[in-house]
Amino acid sequence: MLHELPLAKVYQFIEPGPVALLTTQRPGHKPNVMTLSWHMMMEFEPPLIGCIVSGNNHSFATLEQTGEAVLAVPPASLAETVAAVGNCTGRDTDKFGVYPLTPLPAKLVGAPLVGEAIVSLECRVRDTTLAQTYNMFVLEVVRAWINPALAEAPTLHHHGYGTFVLDGETIKVKSKMR
């Protein structure tokens, strides 16, 4: 069902700024998932992605402890789930049990892929220099998966307080920009 995505193409999914889901898993515990919009590409290949995970989040401790996560991009059709996941905490909620998200085993990390996502990126924490000052983690994508049936699905862009803008028209401009 999921196909492997070449690491060199990862930036095409993250650079446009979609709302993302971040999954983590502590050994012996159920997996957790949070909603995340504060991320950016930092390098093409191997793909490096910076992201902010608030120290208040259950995921922060797991990310620090395990050094692993999956960053997944959900289609716009999951907007209500994405918002709901962002409004509760893994401290008291089994989010994969409550919401229509399917955790699938990853190849290289303990955190699960998301069956309903467009892409799922297996990540290892590469740098925590700014974790204490800004809650920032640098993730290295070590393996990437795409759901071909969703390859053209629109993504969500968060404008605050549950307002999302969906991908619209695609245009092509003469450019050398990678």
Catalog residues that contact a copy of itself under the rule CB under 8 A. Answer: 11-12, 15-18, 35, 37-43, 48, 50-52, 76, 79-80, 82-83, 86-87, 127, 129-130, 133-136, 138, 154, 157-178
* Residue 41 token pair: 């590409």
Instruction: Between 53 and 106, name the residue whose CB sits nearer to a copy of itself.
Output: 53
Instruction: Between 1 and 177, name the residue whose CB sits nearer to a copy of itself.
Output: 177
Instruction: Between 27 and 160, name the residue whose CB sits nearer to a copy of itself.
Output: 160
Q: Which helix (H) or strand (E) holds 82?
A: helix 79-86
> What CA–CA distances, in Å, run from 135 to 20, 38, 138, 149?
17, 11, 10, 34
For residue 114, the cross-strand partners are: 103
For residue 36, the cross-strand partners are: 20
Instruction: Between 115 and 154, name the residue whose CB sits nearer to a copy of itself.
Output: 154
In angstroms, give the least distance from the CB of 74 to a copy of itself: 12
In angstroms, give the least distance from the CB of 115 to a copy of itself: 21
- Report CA dihedral (82, 91, 128, 137) to the nearest 10 degrees: 0
